Amino acid sequence: MTERRDPALLPAREQARRIRTGSLSAADLLGACLARVERHNGELNAVVTLNPAAEAEAAAVDASLGAGEDPGPLAGLVVGIKDVTETAGLRTTYGSPLFAEHVPGEDALVVRRLREAGAVILGKTNTPEFAAGGNTWNEVFGVTRNPWNPDLSAGGSTGGGAAALATGMVSLAQGTDLGGSLRIPASFCGVAGLRPTPGLVPTVPAAYLWDDLQSTGLMARDPEDIAFGLRAIAGPDPASPVCAPQPRWPEAAATDPAAARLAYCGDIARIGIDGGVASVCGEALAALRSAGARVDDVDLDLSHAWDAFLVLRGHWFVSHFEAELHRIDAFGPNVSANLRAGMALTPADIGAAENVRRRVREELLELLERYDALLAPCMAIPPFPAEQNYPETVGGRPMETYVDWIAPTFLLSMPGLPVACVPTGLDAAGLPVGLQIVGPPRGEGRALALASAIREARPIGLPPAVADH
């Protein structure tokens, strides 16, 4: 199959349209995606458990359409589920040897909604242990590799989903984002990601039921596909006390780049930025200005919130793993380090961190009164060797913990605003560079529309190994 004719590489919206009109069957789309798994997964290790019922699910969609029924807005789309998200009857390991054979008895809410919308579950995508890490590896399944260069990291923690998307194994990838897990791999793998407002898609079941720091969301090859998928799965649920109001959903054409007022900050974390990353982002800004957008460089320093995020993350881990603290030493280094950090916190530490978080939100809201969105590089560096847990230095500055290098994303997790990531070009080594777009409250639609406009102005194509087939 060529790139042009392979249905696995079409935008998800186009796949859905063809399935509804009968020019493509759900079974044929699944077959095309499975052929991509066969071709690329042995090298990349993106999909770690295939769903044995996937063919039956696709056949059920085709039968429903054949009977004149409506299987749902995502009918026939092939979705990868991050291996920290429960799937009934399908192994969910959380990337942990402690749960290597765990099979949940029920679907997580997001999986249930995807099924109800007609999606076909391809299987589970790789993640670090309990999603703790910006590089995707674990002791159960090993390392996930970058589709643009398999020697390099795919990012994390939704790295398996991003690598699967970039190679056409899935139409959409479900994931979670605490400190950047839907944006880091999107940037490294050249796809689009969105950290939605926490609670837009409730994260249940969860031990930490009042969690308002992590988000559940989607990645796609096209930002508009994320909006298409989110419309089908967003909304409150009685099981969750954390919910967000429905976004405003403009179509891409409703956000005119020529009329946009945009702020740009190249280093919100003050950790420095790779010259190649800075250059690609500069080219993207020039393209936006040429299209008529007003893009102002702003001096936004969020590094004062660095320690506060680490406090909140430690509290988050203890809240999620309180029932497992008796075996803290059995977890891998990333999870156990977070648990120990969380257990050392005092109530005063947590209270102070929450107040820093409040001030960050106030600062961002003030900025977004003057601008339609804030733009910032997603990653300060290009992808690093896949076998490294994390890069040792960024801009010559030593990284003390495995999360320090992802400060450009975790600092933008704190205010609870929607943040998109879109590829905005390739560096001199041919690797994708992602740009973050922070929208206002309920601004998922705006962020994704701007992401779509940037993608159209700065297309990067497919990874060479995909485009060559």
Q: pLDDT band at 259, cuts 50/70/90?
A: confident
Closest Cα partner for 441 from 199, 237, 211?
A: 199
High-pLDDT (> 90) share of the chain, %: 92
The pLDDT assigned to 251 comes to 52
Helix-helix angle 12-21:223-233, to 10 degrees: 60
Distance CA 191, CA 23 (A): 26
Q: Is 82 a catalytic residue?
A: yes
Selecting among 153, 181, 240, 336, the annotated active-site residue is 181
How much is the average pLDDT of 259-283? 96
Q: Which residue among 25, 96, 157, 240 is the active-site one?
A: 157
Could you read off the pLDDT of 285-315 as tens digits, one per residue? Answer: 999 999 999 999 999 999 999 999 999 999 9
pLDDT 10s digits, 114-161? 999 999 999 999 999 999 999 999 999 999 999 999 999 999 999 999
Q: What number is the average pLDDT over the span 320-344?
A: 96
User: Chain-centre distance of CA 230, in angstroms?
Assistant: 13
Predicted pLDDT of residue 199: 98
DSSP letter at 340 equals H
Q: What confidence score (pLDDT) does residue 1 get?
A: 38
The whole-number pLDDT of residue 377 equals 98
Give 20-77 as a 3 state SS string.
HHCCCCHHHHHHHHHHHHHHHHHHHCCEEEECCCHHHHHHHHHHHHHCCCCCCCCCCC
The pLDDT confidence band at residue 332, using thresholds 50, 70 and 90, is very high
Mean pLDDT calculated for residue range 95-109: 98
Average pLDDT over residues 386-415: 90
- Residue whose entry in the numeric block shows the structure tokens 């997603």: 378
Name the band, by pLDDT with cuts 50, 70 and 90, for residue 248: confident
pLDDT surpassing 70 at residue 91: yes
Residue-level pLDDT at 389: 87
The answer to whether residue 2 scores a pLDDT higher than 50 is no
pLDDT value at 469 more than 70: no
124 is catalytic: no
Residue located via tokens 């749960």: 99
Alpha carbons 357 and 351: distance in angstroms, whole number: 10
Residue 99 has a pLDDT of 97
Question: pTM for the whole thing?
Answer: 0.97
Q: Note the pLDDT tens digit of each residue in 358-399.
A: 999 999 999 999 999 999 999 999 999 999 989 988 877 888
| pLDDT of 254 strictly over 60 | no
User: Predicted confidence band at 468 (pLDDT cuts at 50, 70, 90)?
Assistant: low
